[in-house]
Amino acid sequence: MPFLPHTNADVASMLAVVGAADIDELFDEIPSNLLNTGRGNNEPAAGDAAGMSEMEMLRHMAERARADETGPCFLGAGAYDHHIPSAVWDIASRGEFMTAYTPYQAEASQGTLQLVYEFQTMMSELTGMDVCNASVYDGGSGLAETILMAVRAGERRSRGGPAGGRRSVALAGAVHPLYAAAARNIVGHQGIDIVRLPYGENGLADPSLLTELSEPPAAVVVQQPNFFGLLENVDAITDQAHECGALTVACVNPMTLGLLKAPADWGDGGADIVCGDGQPLGIPMASGGPSFGFICTRQSLVRQLPGRIVGRTRDLDGNPGFTLTLQAREQHIRRAKATSNICTNQGLLVTAATIYLSLLGPEGLRNVAGACHARTRDVVAALDLSRRFDAPYFHECVLRLGRPARPVVESMASRGILGGLALGPYFSDLSDCLLVCATEKRTTSDIRQFANALQDAVGRAA
Partner 1 sequence: METIFDLARAQRRAGAQVPAPESVEDLPKSALREHPPALPEVSELQAVRHYTRLSGLNYSIDTQFYPLGSCTMKYNPRGTHRAASAPGFLDRHPLAPVSVSQGFLACLHELQEILQRATGMGSVSLTPMAGAQGEFAGVAMIRSYHAARGDTGRNEILVPATAHGTNPATASMCGCVVREVAVGPDGDVEIEALKAAAGPATAGLMTTNPSTCGLFERRIEEIAAIVHGAGGLLYYDGANLNAILGKVKPADMGFDVLHLNLHKTFATPHGGGGPGAGPVGAGELLAPYLPGPIVEKTAEGYRWTEPPRTIGRLSAFMGNAGILLRALAYALMLGSDGMRRVGEFATLNANYLAARLGQAGFDIAYPNRRACHEFIVTLAAQKRRFGVCAMDFAKRLLDYGVHAPTTYFPLLVPECFLIEPTETESKEEIDAFVDAMASVLAEAESNPELVKSAPHDLPARRLDDVEAARRLDLRWQS
List binders of partner 1 among 2-21 (CB under 8 A). Answer: 2-6, 10-11, 13-15, 17-20
Kindly tell me which residue out of 165, 289, 404, 424 binds partner 1, with binding defined by CB under 8 A.
289
What is the nearest approach in angstroms of partner 1 to the Cβ of residue 420?
9
Q: Pick out residues in 238-277 that bind partner 1 (CB under 8 A).
A: 257-262, 265, 277
53 binds partner 1 (CB under 8 A): yes
* Of residues 114, 110, 148, 117, the one with CA closest to residue 134: 117
Kindly tell me which residue out of 237, 365, 398, 430 binds partner 1, with binding defined by CB under 8 A.
365
Give 264's contacts (C-beta < 8 A, 6+ positions apart). Answer: 127, 128, 129, 270, 271, 274
Q: Angle at Cα 92 formed by Cα 88 and Cα 95, nearest 5°?
A: 150
What is the nearest approach in angstroms of partner 1 to the Cβ of residue 212?
25
On the CB side of 223, CA atoms within 13 Å amount to 30
* Of residues 174, 70, 68, the one with CA closest to residue 435: 174
Kindly tell me which residue out of 156, 159, 196, 332 binds partner 1, with binding defined by CB under 8 A.
332
* Of residues 174, 258, 180, 179, the one with CA closest to residue 223: 174
41 binds partner 1 (CB under 8 A): no
> In terms of CB distance, is 139 or 173 closer to partner 1?
139
Query: Binding-site residue total for partner 1 (CB under 8 A)?
Result: 202
190 binds partner 1 (CB under 8 A): yes
**SS3 category, 54:** helix
342 binds partner 1 (CB under 8 A): yes
> In terms of CB distance, is 160 or 316 closer to partner 1?
316
154 within 8 A of 247, measured Cβ to Cβ: yes
Distance CA 298, CA 274 (A): 9
Distance of CA 27 to the CA centre of its chain: 42
Kindly tell me which residue out of 44, 208, 212, 214 binds partner 1, with binding defined by CB under 8 A.
44
Q: In what order do the strands lie in the sheet with 293-297?
A: 131-132, 293-297, 273-277, 247-252, 219-224, 168-171, 193-196
Q: Pick out residues in 55-94 that bind partner 1 (CB under 8 A).
A: 57-58, 60-70, 73, 75, 77-79, 81, 85, 87, 90-91, 93-94
Q: Pick out residues in 135-174 that bind partner 1 (CB under 8 A).
A: 135, 137-141, 148
> In terms of CB distance, is 91 or 213 closer to partner 1?
91
Q: What is the dihedral of CA 153, 159, 160, 161, to 10 degrees?
A: -40
What is the nearest approach in angstroms of partner 1 to the Cβ of residue 314?
6
Which stretch, 238-246, 351-359, 396-404, 446-454, contacts partner 1 (CB under 8 A)?
351-359
Q: Pick out residues in 394-413 that bind partner 1 (CB under 8 A).
A: 394, 409-410, 413
What is the nearest approach in angstroms of partner 1 to the Cβ of residue 398?
15
What is the nearest approach in angstroms of partner 1 to the Cβ of residue 24?
8
Distance of CA 224 to the CA centre of its chain: 15
105 binds partner 1 (CB under 8 A): yes
* Of residues 169, 162, 172, the one with CA closest to residue 186: 169
Long-range contacts of 31-38 (CB under 8 A, 24+ apart): none
Kindly tell me which residue out of 28, 212, 214, 445 binds partner 1, with binding defined by CB under 8 A.
28
> In terms of CB distance, is 165 or 245 closer to partner 1?
165
Q: Pick out residues in 213-242 that bind partner 1 (CB under 8 A).
A: 231, 234-235
What is the nearest approach in angstroms of partner 1 to the Cβ of residue 162?
25
Q: Which residues pair with 294 in a beta bridge?
A: 276
Give 362's contacts (C-beta < 8 A, 6+ positions apart). Answer: 258
> In terms of CB distance, is 98 or 211 closer to partner 1?
98
Kindly tell me which residue out of 189, 212, 214, 384 binds partner 1, with binding defined by CB under 8 A.
189
> In terms of CB distance, is 20 or 382 closer to partner 1?
20
* Of residues 252, 207, 192, the one with CA closest to residue 225: 252
Distance CA 305, CA 297 (A): 8
Q: Pick out residues in 302-321 that bind partner 1 (CB under 8 A).
A: 302, 308-317, 319, 321
What is the nearest approach in angstroms of partner 1 to the Cβ of residue 394?
7
Kindly tell me which residue out of 109, 238, 240, 248 binds partner 1, with binding defined by CB under 8 A.
109
328 binds partner 1 (CB under 8 A): yes
Kindly tell me which residue out of 202, 367, 431, 455 binds partner 1, with binding defined by CB under 8 A.
367
112 binds partner 1 (CB under 8 A): yes
Give 325's contacts (C-beta < 8 A, 6+ positions apart). Answer: 309, 310, 311, 313
What is the nearest approach in angstroms of partner 1 to the Cβ of residue 240?
16
Q: Pick out residues in 416-455 that bind partner 1 (CB under 8 A).
A: 416, 418, 421, 440
Per the rule left: phi > 0, alpha: psi between -120 and 50, beta: everything else, 182 is: alpha
For residues 336-352, one letter each, b for 16 or more C-beta atoms within 10 angstroms of the residue's C-beta and e for the rest, the string is: eebbbebeebbbbbbbb
Kindly write down the DSSP assignment for every residue of 178-235, as one continuous string: HHHHHHHHHHGGGT-EEEEPPP-TTSS--GGGGGG-SS--SEEEEEES-TTSB---HH
